[in-house]
Amino acid sequence: MAHTRIDTLQRAARKGGYALPHFLGGTIEMVVAQIKAAEDCDSPLALGFAPEVFPVVPLEHSLPMIVNAAQRACVPVATQLEHGRDFDTIMRAVQLGVSSVMFDGSDLPFEENIARTREIVKVAHAFGVAVEGELGCVGGSAVTSMPEKESFFTEPESVVEFVERTGVDTLAISFGNVHGRYRGKPCLDLERVRRISALVDIPLVMHGGSGLSASDYRQVIESGISNIHFYTAIASGVWPYINQKAKAAQTIPLYHEIVDWTVDHFYHEAVHVMDILGSTGRASAL
Could you tell me which residues are beta bridge partners of residue 47? 23, 79
Query: What's the Cα-to-Cα distance from 92 to each of 62, 68, 115, 170, rounded to whole Å?
Result: 12, 16, 20, 20
Q: What is the pLDDT of residue 183?
A: 47
Query: How far, in Å, CA of 226 to CA of 250, rounded?
Result: 44
pTM: 0.92
Q: What is the pLDDT of residue 178?
A: 67
159 membership: H or E segment, kind and range: helix 156-166
Beta-carbon contacts of 205 under 8 Å, excluding residues fewer than 6 positions away, are: 10, 22, 132, 170, 171, 172, 173, 225, 226, 227, 228, 229
Average pLDDT of the segment spanning 6-13: 98
Residue 173 has pLDDT above 70, yes or no: yes
Query: How far, in Å, CA of 247 to CA of 253, rounded?
Result: 10
Give the chain's mean pLDDT: 91
DSSP string covering 44-78: -EEEEE-TTT-TTS-HHHHHHHHHHHHHH-SS-EE
CATH number of 120's domain: 3.20.20.70
Q: What is the pLDDT of residues 116-139, one digit of tens each?
A: 999 999 999 999 999 999 998 765
Domain count, the chain: 1
Q: What is the pLDDT of residue 185?
A: 56
Q: What is the pLDDT of residues 249-279, one digit of tens each?
A: 888 899 999 999 999 999 999 999 999 999 9
Q: What is the pLDDT of residues 192-248, one digit of tens each?
A: 999 999 999 999 999 976 678 899 999 999 999 999 999 988 999 999 999 999 999
Domain that includes residue 266, residue range:
3-285
SS3 at position 84: strand
